[in-house]
Amino acid sequence: MIDLDDISLSGAKCLMDKSEDSWLWHSQLGHFHCELLNIMSKDIVVSLPKPIFVKDKLDLLLPGPRFDQIFPHSLSFPTLTTLSLKHLVFGCNDDGCVDPFSTFNMLTTLIIDKCVLVDNAQNLRISSTKLVNLTICVYDFLSGCNPRTADFEIYFGIELYAPTLHTFDFTGGHYIPKLFGSKTALSSIKHVNINLKQTMEDSFWENPSILFNWLVNLVNIESLTITKPALQVLSYAHEDLLKVDFPSLCNLKSLKFNQIIRPPLVTVIDFLLQNSPSAKVDFSSSSLWTRW
C-alpha cells in the first residue's frame, strides 16, 4: 500500500492547480490498493504524466519529449524505494541547486531517462543516503532534440552524494556528462555499465578525457560492462592515456563487451586490464542493453 498522507507538500489544497508547478493531492485519500490507485490517478493528478503505482514503486513518464512538466521540489515519498522518471524537467531549489531526491529517505533504485534541467542549471545532484542502483539515460540531439533552440539544458554534469551507491548504469549518445561528487559515493560504486551508442565522429571532443576521468574517479569498480563506441572514444585519447599513471580498476574482476573487439581497440582493453590482469573478459554477440 502507499499512504498518500505520507506525502509532504507545501500547500494544503485538494487538487492540483494547472497554474502551479506542484502536485496537490486530496488529503483524505488515505490507503488505496495499487491497482485502484492507478485507475484513479488520472483524476488525482492533473496536467502531469500519469503515475504508475506499484507497492513502494512509482513510475512517472511523459509520452514524448515535451519537457514542460517540472518535477516539484515539494514532492516527498518518505517510504518509496524505487523511482523511475522519463521526460521530466528538474529545476533549481531555493539554494540554487538541482537536488530533487534528497527527501526520498528510503530510495534504493533510481532511473532517470531523458530528463533535462532548467534555470540555467549546470549539474544534477543526486543525494540519497540509501541509494544502491542508479540508471541514467541522457537525451541526445541526434535523437531529435536540438539544444541550440531549446530553453532547457540537456548537457549537464552529475553530482553523486550517495554513500551506499553500488551500481551505476549509463546510456548516452554523443555526449558524456562530467561525473563528480563525494569520494565516499564514487568509491562505493562496484558495478558500472557504460552504454554509448555513437562513435567518436559523432561525439564531443571532450569525451575521451571525461570518460577517462570516470574510470579514474570510480576507483573500486569490480565489474565493468562497456560498448564498442565507448572503447572507440577512449582510443582517441589512447596515446595520452599511456603517458599518465592509471591508479584505478585494481579491483576489477569482470570486463564485459557487447561484441567481439578487434585491433586497434585491443590496446585499450590491455590498458584497462593493466592493474587487474587476472580479471575475466567476456565478449557477447547479443545486446546487453535494451533501454534504447
Q: How far apart are CA 223 and CA 241, in angstroms?
A: 21
Supply φ then ψ for residue 24, to 5 degrees.
-115, 115
Does residue 7 lie within any of the structural domains? no
pLDDT tens across 36-66, in order?
344 434 433 433 445 554 557 777 766 666 6
Kindly write down the DSSP assignment for every residue of 167-212, as one continuous string: EEEEEESS----EEE-HHHHHH--EEEEEE-S-GGGS-TTHHHHHH
Distance in angstroms (rounded) separating the CA atoms of residues 77 and 79: 6
CB 199 within 8 A of CB 232: yes
Please state, in angstroms and rounded to a whole number, the distance separating the CA atoms of residues 173 and 194.
11
**The predicted structure's pLDDT at residue 2:** 38
Q: Is residue 208 part of a domain?
A: yes
99, three cell numbers: 537536488
43/29 Cα distance (integer angstroms): 12
For residue 33, the SS3 value is coil
Number of domains composing the chain: 1
Residue 116: exposure state from Cβ atoms within 10 A (0-12, 13-18, ≥19)? buried
User: Is residue 1, in this structure, part of any structural domain at all?
Assistant: no
User: Does residue 41 form part of some domain?
Assistant: no
pLDDT of residue 146: 52
Q: What is the pLDDT along the chain (292 residues), one digit of tens a residue?
A: 333 334 443 333 333 333 333 333 332 333 333 343 444 344 334 334 455 545 577 777 666 666 668 888 777 778 899 999 998 899 998 777 999 999 899 999 999 999 999 988 999 999 999 999 999 999 765 455 554 445 678 889 999 999 999 999 999 988 899 999 999 999 999 999 999 986 555 566 788 889 999 999 999 999 999 998 899 888 887 667 667 778 899 999 999 987 777 777 888 898 899 999 999 999 875 444 333 3
pLDDT of residue 183: 95
Residue 59 lies in a domain: yes
The range of the structural domain enclosing residue 217 comes to 51-283
